Amino acid sequence: MDKEQKEKISGKPFFLFHSTQAVHLPSFAGKDFKGKTKAGPHGDFIFEFDYVVGELIKGLKENSFADNTLVIVSSDNGPEVPTVKAMRRDHQHDGARPWRGVKRDNWEGGHRVPMIAWWPGKIASGSESHATVCLTDVMATCAEIVDAKLPDNAAEDSYSFLPVLLGEVDQTREYTLHQTITLDLAIRKGNWKYLDHQGSAGSNYDNDGEWGMLEYALPEKAPDAPGQLYDLKNDPGETTNLYFEHPDIVKALKTQLDEYKKSGRSAPLRQ
**Quick one: 151 and 36 in the same domain?**
no
Tell me if 75 is assigned to some domain.
Answer: yes
Tell me if 224 is assigned to some domain.
Answer: yes
Tell me if 21 is assigned to some domain.
Answer: yes
**Quick one: 107 and 159 in the same domain?**
yes
Of the residues 49, 69, 89, the one at which a domain ends: 69
The beta-strand segments (E) located in 58-122 are 71-74, 115-118
Q: What's 238's domain CATH number?
A: 3.40.720.10
Tell me if 167 is assigned to some domain.
Answer: yes
Cis peptide before 226 (omega within 30 of 0): no
Q: In this predicted structure, what is the pLDDT of residue 22?
A: 66
Expressed in angstroms, the distance from the first to the final Cα of the chain is: 39
User: pLDDT tens string for the chain (271 positions)?
Assistant: 777 777 777 778 888 899 886 667 778 889 999 999 999 999 999 999 999 999 999 999 998 899 999 999 999 899 999 999 999 999 999 999 999 999 999 999 999 999 999 999 999 999 999 999 999 999 999 999 999 999 999 999 999 999 999 999 999 999 999 999 999 999 999 999 999 999 999 999 999 999 999 999 999 999 999 999 999 999 999 999 999 999 999 999 999 999 999 999 999 998 7
**Quick one: 41 and 92 in the same domain?**
no
Q: Give the range of the structural domain holding residue 62, as residue numbers without chain letter.
A: 14-69
Q: What is the pTM of this model?
A: 0.92
Q: Are 194 and 251 in contact (CB under 8 A)?
A: no
Q: Are 192 and 232 in contact (CB under 8 A)?
A: yes
Count Cβ atoms within 10 A of the Cβ of residue 176 and give its class: 0-12 exposed, 13-18 middle, 19 or more buried.
buried
What Rg, from alpha-carbon coordinates, does the chain have? 21
Residues listed for the chain: 271
Q: In this predicted structure, what is the pLDDT of residue 26?
A: 79
Closest CA to 111 of 28, 48, 195: 195
Tell me if 3 is assigned to some domain.
Answer: no
Tell me if 215 is assigned to some domain.
Answer: yes
Number of domains in the chain: 2
**Quick one: 108 and 79 in the same domain?**
yes
Phi, psi of 118 (to 5 degrees): -130, 125
**Quick one: 112 and 186 in the same domain?**
yes
